[in-house]
Structure formats: C-alpha cells, structure tokens
Amino acid sequence: MAKVEFKNIKKSFDDVEVVKHFDFIVEDGEFVVFLGPSGCGKSTTLRMLAGLESITSGEIYVGGKLMNKIDAKDRDLAMVFQSYALYPHMTVYENIAFALKLKGMKKPDIDREVRAAAKMLELDPLLDRKPKELSGGQRQRVAMGRAMVRTPKVFLFDEPLSNLDAKLRGTMREEIKQLHRELKTTTIYVTHDQIEAMTLADRIVILKDGYVAQVGTPTDVFQRPANKFVAQFIGNPSMNMLDAKMVDENGEFFIEIGETRIPLPERFKAHASKNVALHLGIRPTDIHLRAELVDHDRVFPLPVKIKDKELLGASILLKTEIAGQPLMVETQATEVAADEVTLYLDLDSLHLFDALSENSLAN
C-alpha cells in the first residue's frame, strides 16, 4: 500500500495542454475517484501515473518514490481498463496467473494465489473457460482478479464498468467496494459517471478541461458545490440554475428573479452587495408542494403553472417556469392534479454563484 503524490503535473499533446495543473495527494489506503466529462483529462492523468504516458512537467511519487523515470512494469501498480484487455487464447486461470508466472513465482504459490482471488470474485467454477465463453461482468471480474493477485501498491481503474448494463454495473460497484474494504489497497478510479463516484469514493476529484474544479467527499460535493460546474454536474436530475440579481431595498438584500424577490438567506449576508449578477441554484428535490414537508420555516412560497410532468418511477418531475426560465421540481406526490400550484423553496438548500467567476458565494 502506498500514498500517491501528484506534484504540479502538466501534460501537453503537441501544443495542446490537456492537464493544466494537477496537484493532489491520494492518502495510503484511500479510494479516490477522478470524475469529469469525457475529454477532461482523467485517463491521461491516470496513464501518467501508470507510466503509459510521459509527463510533460511535474513529479509523481508512489510510496515516497519518484516514478517519472521508472518503467511502467516496475511501478508495481495494477490497472483495470474498460476494455478488460484479457488474453483471448488463455483460460480464466491462465489469465489470472499470467503476471505471477512472469514474476517467476513457483507453481504451487501461483495456484494458491489464483484460487484465492477466484474465490473472492466467485470465479472458481469458471477457471477453465476462455474469455469468449464469459459474460461482460465475468470478464470484468477476471480483469480484476488479474490485478488483485499482483498485490500491487495501488489499483488503477479506468471506466471499468462502462461496457456493462445498468444492473450489472450496480453489482460490480458493490464488488469493487467490498474488495477495497477487504484489501484496503490505495485505489484511483476514473469515471464520467457521478453515481459511481458518489457510491465508491472516499474523496472525489472533479475535473473540467484539465483543471480541478473541486475536491471533496461525496457529501461535500453534493451539498456544498464550490462552483456552478460542480453544482450541475453532480446530482440527477440536475440542479436548477436561474439567472438572478442581488438587490438592496432600504438596507435589506433580496435575490431578484424577474418579478420575484427572495430574501437573502442569512448565511450569504457577508457577501451582500447590490446589483451583483448571480446564478441561483436549487435542486429539484429541495422544492416542495407543501410547506410542512420542510422541517423548518425558512421556505419561500412561489406560485407557478405546471407546464409538463414526467414520471420517474417513485417520483415525478414537474416542469415549471419562473420569469421565463425553466424550473424543475421532483416530488413524491405522484398525483398532482392542479395546473397552478404554490411551490415552497427550501431556503437552507439554496446555492448562489457569482455570475462572472461562477464560484459559490458561500465558500
């Protein structure tokens, strides 16, 4: 097990800088997820750590040892890819045993290691099969088994579940989590899927265009997004984001959206200044159809017309508008008969972002 340190890492392909400044420490035994949209530099960052991509500038340390000039095969890291990359002509057993054989491990030792990993991943009945005789989930487990037997310092996963269907993704997520609980190996997991990040991570690093947008626990990034990008990237359905303005009426501050004026909640008062352009964020689940559904009295009533409804299963999504801007409400009440309703905005769950910097006013 080992701590992983990225020190001012940059990466360019030709003239294009795709990782702009990456400074981050993964603690020993920690499970960190790199999360971000496609093309933001997640795989490139992981591949620099694995030694599969050169580092343009900066340093990477694993367990205190500088990795920059060390060959990929000597870094003692195990990587699991989206494509699994199994050897098609080898059986499950041979696939898992391969790296140990290369290391020159003795046959009985190899056998013990392979069987222990297979047992943990419930692959024991499949050891004689070839990859083509396996389902996607089983192949993914073989790829994980192959990584596990090497008892690496660090596990690296690059979108390992992206080729699986939704149900299997859920199961495999649980298995990866269980594996980390048992082995406690430092793990870096790359994904564009916020659900994977939220369910697996001790800490999430949210990346955007080669920058770190926020680092935090799943609760941090969900409840206290540092900027507009994170606010809208995390959470499904996405957070409502409304153009607004801070106004001052005889020394009292309000957030103005068209004709509507919401009193500025106490916690933003340190940032009060008039005529500042803002984005007001509120999650669809923080808007209610009855004031009693909020367990405090800091609610704001807002009459609206319902434009459309979408059944999500256990809840419905109401599509409304405020000052011509879309506002979505997720409610458990599956029967909403009226076309005109009063919504209650939970003011404790309101987010404000400066329209210019897009940073949260609360941070």
Q: What is the 3-state secondary structure (H, E, C) of the chain?
A: CCCEEEEEEEEEECCEEEEEEEEEEECCCCEEEEECCCCCCHHHHHHHHHCCCCCCEEEEEECCEECCCCCHHHCCEEEEECCCCCCCCCCHHHHHHHHHHHCCCCHHHHHHHHHHHHHHCCCHHHCCCCHHHCCHHHHHHHHHHHHHCCCCCEEEEECCCCCCCHHHHHHHHHHHHHHHHHHCCEEEEEECCHHHHHHHCCEEEEEECCEEEEEECHHHHHHCCCEHHHHHHCCCCCCEEEEEEEEEECCEEEEEECCEEEECCHHHHHHCCCCEEEEEEECHHHEECCHHHCCCCCEEEEEEECCEEEECCCCEEEEEEECCEEEEEEECCCCCCCCEEEEEEEHHHCEEEECCCCEECCC
Q: Taking the complex as a whole, how short is the minimal distance between the CB of residue 284 and Mg ion, in angstroms?
A: 29
Q: Taking the complex as a whole, how short is the minimal distance between the CB of residue 159 and Mg ion, in angstroms?
A: 6
Do 180 and 147 touch, CB atoms closer than 8 A?
no
Q: Which does 250 bind (CB under 5 to 8 A by kind): ligand ADP, Mg ion, none?
A: none
Do 220 and 206 touch, CB atoms closer than 8 A?
no
Cβ-based neighbour number of residue 198 at 10 Å = 19
Nearer to Mg ion, 43 or 138 (CB): 43
Nearer to ligand ADP, 42 or 146 (CB): 42
Q: Which does 276 bind (CB under 5 to 8 A by kind): ligand ADP, Mg ion, none?
A: none
Q: Which does 18 bind (CB under 5 to 8 A by kind): Mg ion, ligand ADP, none?
A: ligand ADP
How many positions of this chain bind Mg ion (CB under 5 A)?
1
Nearer to Mg ion, 147 or 276 (CB): 147
Site for Mg ion in 62-121 (CB under 5 A): none
Nearer to ligand ADP, 15 or 292 (CB): 15
Question: Applying CB under 6 A, which residues contact ligand ADP?
Answer: 13, 18, 36, 38-44
Q: Taking the complex as a whole, how short is the minimal distance between the CB of residue 4 and Mg ion, in angstroms?
A: 18
Nearer to ligand ADP, 41 or 216 (CB): 41
Nearer to Mg ion, 43 or 240 (CB): 43
Nearest Cα to Cα of residue 128 among 143, 118, 116: 118
Q: Taking the complex as a whole, how short is the minimal distance between the CB of residue 19 and ligand ADP, in angstroms?
A: 8
Nearer to ligand ADP, 41 or 152 (CB): 41
Q: Taking the complex as a whole, how short is the minimal distance between the CB of residue 62 and ligand ADP, in angstroms?
A: 20
Q: Taking the complex as a whole, how short is the minimal distance between the CB of residue 55 and ligand ADP, in angstroms?
A: 13
Nearer to ligand ADP, 16 or 314 (CB): 16
Instruction: Count the alpha carbons within 13 Å of 189 in the hemisphere toward its beta carbon.
Output: 28
Cis peptide before 237 (omega within 30 of 0): yes
Q: Taking the complex as a whole, how short is the minimal distance between the CB of residue 310 and Mg ion, in angstroms?
A: 31
Residue closest to Mg ion (Cβ): 43
Q: Which does 213 bind (CB under 5 to 8 A by kind): ligand ADP, Mg ion, none?
A: none
Q: Taking the complex as a whole, how short is the minimal distance between the CB of residue 42 and Mg ion, in angstroms?
A: 5
Q: Which does 13 bind (CB under 5 to 8 A by kind): ligand ADP, Mg ion, none?
A: ligand ADP
Q: Which does 39 bind (CB under 5 to 8 A by kind): ligand ADP, Mg ion, none?
A: ligand ADP
Nearer to ligand ADP, 13 or 87 (CB): 13
Q: Which does 40 bind (CB under 5 to 8 A by kind): ligand ADP, Mg ion, none?
A: ligand ADP
Helices 107-120 & 136-148 angle (0-180, nearest 10): 130
Tell me how far apart the alpha carbons of residues 279 and 339 are, in angstroms, rounded to a whole number. Answer: 27
Site for Mg ion in 286-325 (CB under 5 A): none
191 forms part of the interface with Mg ion (CB under 5 A):
no
Binding-residue pattern over the window 20 to 49 for Mg ion, x denoting contact by CB under 5 A: -----------------------x------
List contacts with Mg ion (CB under 5 A).
Answer: 43
